């Protein structure tokens, strides 16, 4: 595969990691603050969805 494609794959992985990290981290913080348990899951799903949307914006549409 061409070098540009390899770079695109690593940057896709970077987006997914940071989406889960940021929104999952926010959910985890809210959980620690309020003493609940479900905001972490919401944050992870939100972050995963948002980063997949970002990947689609950057690499999916032509």
What φ, ψ does residue 25 adopt, rounded to 5°? -65, -40
Helix and strand tally (H, E) in the chain?
A: 2, 0
Contact between 42 and other proteins (CB under 8 A)? no
- The residue count for binding other proteins (CB under 8 A) is 42
Contact between 20 and other proteins (CB under 8 A)? yes
CB of 34 to other proteins, least distance (A): 16
Q: Report the interhelical angle of 3-34 vs 39-55 (nearest 10°).
A: 160
Give me the residues that bind other proteins (CB under 8 A), please. Answer: 1, 3-24, 28, 40, 44, 46-48, 50-62
């Amino acid at each position: 595969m061409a070098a540009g494609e390899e770079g695109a794959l690593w940057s896709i992985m970077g987006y997914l990691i940071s989406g889960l990290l940021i929104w999952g981290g926010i959910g985890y913080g809210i959980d620690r603050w309020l003493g609940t348990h479900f905001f972490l899951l919401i944050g992870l799903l939100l972050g995963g969805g948002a980063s997949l949307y970002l990947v689609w914006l950057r690499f999916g549409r032509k």
